[in-house]
């Protein structure tokens, strides 16, 4: 019996990917090896597929005998969300996301209450760490980009603690914008931070970029600005939760806070702007506290055919208006928002 062993910190990411590709043999239980690895039982796969899995997840493949590979009881067999949903609804569910102990799922129109509960309970059985399952009850809206959620199974508690990239993030999933799908993008950003950099995160929310940069780099300081008072309150809690002592947090509109920072002679080597819609409207205030040669990361939503030209044109035009010279480093896709629409990030340096 073949098992894929990975670092336990990546177990949830790997579990979702393997289930989506239907590569897990659910007739066997997971195996924990030592203090830091989790093993996933695999269906029959070729050598090439095995090599791809090991490379992608920095894992190892191990062949275990029947004595070590323990079969599940039939009553315990989990099934993928797609397989379960096909029994209860005509439309398949889109992929769900997990934030801490909460699962958030998008349900199709016309689904019955009985079907909702079936889907919710299936998710609770599939992942023992999930305590509550919520259905999206609206789109992101308002200046705080929050959305309404509706409980369909489990405990009704929208506050949770999410673990990501060596940090803990406490938040209320209905009152604070947070996307776990950006974990890889946040890791990309903090991997670019150099020792002794001063970093500013605009629109910092409950602090994912702030604390992941603070905890995973040798930045001299990291500042965050957030307009949502609830998100800012959670960020202050997360500062204590993560023992992040090189962090400064400011509540308020960036257009009000940055002039105050400028008066205090604050300037930054790197500025992160994780506002996916309209971030380019705030480039002028970012420039006010950018050092010569500062690196700026600007996010956007773009149609596939407009990548990278539309984002890079916005950067060039904003720099031209403010008297800066841009050096475009790259524009990357960091998540799909809709059919042929992507969240992008344009990395660029500025000089006079």
Summarised one tens digit per residue, pLDDT across range 78-99 is 556 666 666 555 454 557 899 9
> Does 216 lie in the same domain as 149?
no
* Span between the terminal Cα atoms of the chain, in Å: 62
Q: Check whether residue 338 and residue 191 sit in a common domain.
A: yes
Q: What angle do CA 139, 140, 141 make, to 5 degrees?
A: 105
Percent of the chain scoring above 90 in pLDDT:
60
**pLDDT at residue 80, as a whole number:** 64
pLDDT band at 171 (very low <50, low <70, confident <90, very high): very high
Contact assessment for residue 181 and residue 335, using Cβ atoms and an 8 Å cutoff: yes
Which residues contact residue 275 at a Cβ distance below 8 angstroms, ignoring those fewer than 6 apart?
Answer: 202, 203, 282, 299
pLDDT in tens, 3-47: 888 988 888 888 878 877 778 887 778 888 777 888 888 888 888
Q: 338 and 192 share a domain?
A: yes
Task: Report if residue 230 sits inside a domain.
Answer: yes
Question: What is the average pLDDT score of the chain?
Answer: 89
| Residues 200 and 251 grouped into a single domain | yes
Band (103; pLDDT cuts 50, 70, 90) = very high
Strand partners, 198: 221
Of 157, 191, 216, which one is at a domain's C-terminal end? 157
Distance of CA 182 to the CA centre of its chain: 3
Q: Are residues 293 and 227 in the same domain?
A: yes
For residues 335 and 290, which has the higher predicted lDDT (pLDDT)?
290
Is 165 part of a structural domain of the chain?
no
Query: Does residue 169 lie within any of the structural domains?
Result: no
- DSSP secondary structure letters along 7-50: EGGGHHHHHHHHHHTT-B-TTB--EEETTTEEEEEB-S--HHHH
| Tally of domains in the chain | 3
In a domain, 188, yes or no: yes
Percent of the chain with pLDDT over 70: 91
Q: What is the CATH number of the domain that holds 258?
A: 3.40.50.150
Same domain, 316 and 213: yes
Range of the domain at 15: 2-74
Residue finishing a domain among 74, 97, 118: 74
Domain presence at residue 64: yes
User: Do 191 and 265 belong to one domain?
Assistant: yes
Same domain? For 244 and 341 the reply is yes
Name residues whose C-beta falls within 8 Å of residue 153's C-beta, 6 or more positions apart in sequence: 116, 117, 119, 120, 121, 123, 124, 132, 133
In CATH, what number is assigned to the domain containing residue 138?
3.30.300.110
Of 77, 75, 95, the residue nearest 85 (C-alpha) = 95
- Residue 85 falls within a domain, yes or no? yes
User: Does residue 166 fall inside a structural domain?
Assistant: no
In this structure, the answer to whether residues 141 and 182 fall within a common structural domain is no
Type and span of the H or E element at 85: helix 81-88
What is residue 64's predicted lDDT score, i.e. its pLDDT?
76
Give the pair of three-digit tokens for residue 190: 């903090």
Q: Is residue 167 part of a domain?
A: no
DSSP lists the bridge partners of residue 103 as 98, 133
pTM of the entire structure?
0.77
54-83 tens-digit pLDDT = 888 888 988 876 555 666 555 555 556 666
- 95 and 10 in a common domain: no
Q: How far is CA 3 from CA 7, 80, 101, 128, 226, in A?
A: 13, 18, 26, 21, 44
**Boundary residue ending a domain (22, 54, 74):** 74
- State residue 63's pLDDT score: 82
Counting Cβ atoms within 10 Å, is residue 5 exposed (0-12), middle (13-18) or buried (19+)? buried
CATH of residue 38:
3.30.70.2580
In a shared domain, residues 333 and 194: yes
pLDDT in tens, 118-168: 888 888 888 889 999 999 998 888 889 999 999 999 999 999 999 999 999
Calpha distance 270→292 (Å, rounded): 10
Q: Do residue 214 and residue 343 come from a single domain?
A: yes
Which of residues 111 and 161 earns the better pLDDT score?
161
């Amino acid at each position: 019996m073949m098992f894929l062993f990975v670092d336990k910190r990546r177990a949830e990411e790997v579990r979702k990917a393997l289930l989506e590709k239907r590569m897990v043999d659910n007739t066997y239980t997971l195996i924990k090896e030592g203090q830091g690895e989790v093993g996933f039982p695999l269906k029959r796969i070729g050598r090439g597929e095995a090599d791809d899995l090991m490379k992608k997840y920095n894992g190892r493949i191990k062949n275990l005998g029947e004595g070590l590979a323990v079969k599940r009881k039939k009553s315990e067999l989990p099934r993928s969300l797609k397989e379960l949903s096909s029994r209860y609804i005509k439309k398949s569910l889109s992929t769900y996301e997990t934030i801490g102990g909460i699962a958030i799922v998008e349900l199709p129109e016309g689904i019955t209450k009985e079907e909702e509960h079936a889907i919710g309970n299936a998710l609770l059985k599939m992942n023992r760490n999930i305590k509550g399952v919520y259905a999206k009850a609206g789109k992101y809206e308002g200046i705080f980009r929050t959305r309404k959620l509706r409980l369909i199974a489990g405990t009704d508690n929208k506050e949770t603690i999410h673990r990501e990239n060596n940090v803990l993030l406490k938040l209320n999933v209905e009152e604070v914008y947070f996307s776990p799908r950006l974990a890889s993008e946040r890791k990309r950003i903090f991997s670019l931070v150099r020792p002794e950099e001063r970093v500013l995160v605009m629109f910092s929310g409950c602090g994912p970029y702030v604390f992941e940069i603070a905890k995973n780099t040798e930045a001299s300081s990291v500042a965050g600005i957030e307009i949502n008072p609830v998100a800012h309150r959670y960020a202050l809690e997360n500062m204590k939760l993560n023992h992040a002592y090189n962090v400064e947090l400011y509540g308020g509109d960036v257009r009000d806070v940055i002039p105050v920072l400028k008066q205090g002679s604050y300037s930054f080597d790197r500025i992160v702007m994780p506002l996916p819609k309209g971030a380019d409207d705030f480039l002028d205030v970012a420039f006010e506290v950018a050092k010569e040669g500062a690196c700026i990361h600007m996010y956007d939503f773009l149609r596939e055919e407009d990548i990278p030209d539309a984002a890079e044109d916005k950067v060039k035009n904003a720099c031209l208006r403010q008297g800066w010279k841009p050096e475009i480093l790259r524009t990357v896709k960091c998540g799909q928002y809709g059919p042929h629409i992507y969240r992008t990030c344009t990395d660029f340096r500025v000089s006079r």
